[in-house]
A = this chain, B = another copy of it.
Amino acid sequence: MITKELTIGELAERSGVAASALRFYEREGLIHSRRTTGNQRRYHRTTLRRVAFIRASQSVGMPLSVIGEVLGFLPADVPPSREFWVRASECWSKEINARIERMERMRDRFTECIGCGCLSFEQCALVNPGDELADQGPGARRL
């Protein structure tokens, strides 16, 4: 059969992603499925691509919420166009570069500041960054 649908087990095996994660992605709206009369999930083949995109994006550090937003522009059951990949790639690259720069600035500051031995409050830029790291709110912070 051409364009045969996938069960969750098949999708899990072929994508290398656990079935529990796939159900989770579906709850979060990143992927979609049809249901059989017996309430089981059937995935369109293009879902394989969507999952690949999700994992690739995660591997460069993107949070699922952002990936979800971008995938929102990609209708279900439609294979992602070349344009889509390119646009997404550009978008991600910007983000990653920004993060790398941020880390480089931090490292330089740290060596500088530790090197001078100050580490006293009010003077030290490391202890009081002020610019970055500010207003991240309470709770856990992503590294």
Contact of A120 with B by CB under 8 A: yes
- Pick from B49, B61, B117: contact of A85, CB under 8 Å: B117
Q: A48 CA to B121 CA in the complex, in Å?
A: 9
Interface size on A, residues (CB 8 A): 46
Check if A106 sits within 8 Å of B59, measured CB to CB: yes
Check if A111 sits within 8 Å of B93, measured CB to CB: yes
Check if B119 sits within 8 Å of A49, measured CB to CB: yes
Q: A14 CA to B115 CA in the complex, in Å?
A: 23
Check if B126 sits within 8 Å of A110, measured CB to CB: no
Contact of A97 with B by CB under 8 A: yes
Q: A9 CA to B126 CA in the complex, in Å?
A: 22
